[in-house]
């Protein structure tokens, strides 16, 4: 077992409990909870969930990564009303 020729620096502090690390991969595990959401918020969140599912479904062997992006855009064009898009962009 190698030893430090000089005093070794202290180990880094543990990451936030929501952060997980494996080798050089790091993932932030977060959750969203709504308390009394409006109908518009519920619809927008449902649209994002549909878009995420479409992106995952598009990630198949041999498909370009742009397929996931295109699936998200196509899903949001159908799911989000023009009024929601304008409200969200403001």
pLDDT tens digits for range 54-85: 999 999 999 999 999 999 999 999 876 655 55
Structural domain includes residue 2: no
Return d(Cα 54, Cα 67) in angstroms, integer: 10
Is the residue at 3 inside a domain? no
CB proximity list for 36: less than 8 A, separation 6 or greater: none
Asked if residue 64 is part of any domain, the answer here is yes
Stretch 44-50: mean pLDDT: 89
Question: Is 14 among the domain residues?
Answer: no
Distance CA 88, CA 80 (A): 10
pLDDT of 51 > 90? The answer is: yes
Q: Please give the pLDDT value at position 35.
A: 87
**Could you give the number of structural domains in the chain?**
1
Domain range for 44 = 37-89
């Amino acid at each position: 077992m190698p030893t430090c020729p000089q005093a070794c620096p202290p180990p880094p502090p543990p990451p936030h409990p929501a952060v997980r690390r494996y080798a050089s991969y790091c993932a932030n595990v977060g959750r969203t909870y709504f308390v009394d959401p409006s109908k518009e918020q519920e619809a927008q969140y449902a649209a994002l969930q549909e878009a995420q599912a479409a992106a995952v479904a598009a990630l198949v062997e041999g498909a370009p990564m742009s397929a996931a992006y295109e699936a998200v855009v196509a899903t949001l064009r159908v799911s989000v009303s023009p009024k929601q898009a304008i409200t969200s962009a403001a």
